[in-house]
Structure 1
Amino acid sequence: MTHEKTCLQCHAAITGRSDKRFCTDQCRYLHNNLIKQQSQGERRIQQVNAALRKNRSILRQFSPLGKTTVSRQHLELAGFDFRFLTQVYRTQRGNTYHLCYDYGYLLLPDEKVLIVNWQPYMDERS
């Protein structure tokens, strides 16, 4: 009983060496490039998730009891990256809170930042 091997890319029959995985060099290139693209996308997702988790951890560290005002510089020195957030919440007064999961911040004048915890009333307007 012979078991015919097929190409990992195009599924055509493979002839030649017993350990051969692709029918042509073109199929090998296509397959490897596809794997590389997928892994780069996954790597970017992991980097963004790591930045979001770090931001949340820093906000939690600076505001363990709920509402705190700190300088923007303190957050930056702790490694906070203002480019990464999960949501934006706008109040009826026009204030914009940038959220990182269940912690958020409001940019204030004089390079100050108000850190808050997610509140149940925020769910009603999101």
Structure 2
Amino acid sequence: MERLQKSCLYCKKEVFGRSDKKFCDPQCKSAYQYQQTRAQPERFYNKVDNQLRLNRKLLKDYNKGGKVTVRTSVLKAKGFDARFFTHYWKNGKGDVYLFVYEYGFLRRLEHGVEKYILIQWQDYMN
């Protein structure tokens, strides 16, 4: 049986071994798959997951005291997007806090400045 000349899909070097082999070594296979993944548009799930992770990190970083007030412009400048949250909680006054996992925020307008009140999830909020 005659073997066809095959080349690595990544580096184009000649491939030896099995007839269905596509790469010359594991590094080329990995590099090729990484290249293919980068060429594809980001999936919706990945966009949402990445934004939720960033939002949670920012809320955690800025909420060191349990309840903190931060200008919205500060969080937005770091990439915070209030449209991405995991759940909400309504307090007795009717305020609706949006949460990203255990970190919550409430939008407030104080003296013409938009701010977020940051809180952490508590057991009584169930």
Matched pairs, number: 85
1:59 Cα deviation after fit: 0.4
Q: Secondary structure at the match of 1:109?
A: strand
Q: What percent identity do the matched residue pairs reach?
A: 38
Partner of 1:27 in structure 2?
Answer: none
Q: Deviation of residue 112 (structure 1)?
A: 1.3
The code of the aligned residue for 2:87 comes to Q
Instruction: Report the counterpart of residue 58 of structure 2 in structure 1.
Output: 58
Tell me the C-alpha RMSD between the 2 structures.
Answer: 1.9
Q: TM-score, normalised by structure 1?
A: 0.62
**Aligned residue for 2:100?**
100
Q: Could you tell me which residue of structure 2 aligns to residue 121 of structure 1?
A: 124
- Residue identity in the other structure for 2:67: K
Q: Give me the whole-angstrom Cα distance separating, in 2, the residues matched to 1:65 and 1:43.
A: 36
Q: State the Cα deviation string for residues 34-88 of structure 1 (Å, max 9, x = none).
A: xxxxx98x92112101100100000011112311101011110111011100011
Give the TM-score of the pair, scaled to structure 2. 0.62
Gaps (5+ residues) in structure 2?
1-19, 21-39
User: How far apart are the structure 1 equivalents of 2:93 and 2:125?
Assistant: 14
Q: State the 1:91 CA deviation.
A: 1.1
Distance 2:81 2:66 in 1: 20
CA drift of 1:95 comes to: 0.5
What stretches of structure 1 move > 4 A for 4+ residues in a row? Answer: none
Q: Distance in 1 between matches of 2:45 and 2:81?
A: 16
The Cα of 1:109 is off from its aligned counterpart by 1.5
Unaligned runs of 5+ in 1: 1-18, 20-38
Higher helix share: 1
> Match of 2:117, SS?
strand
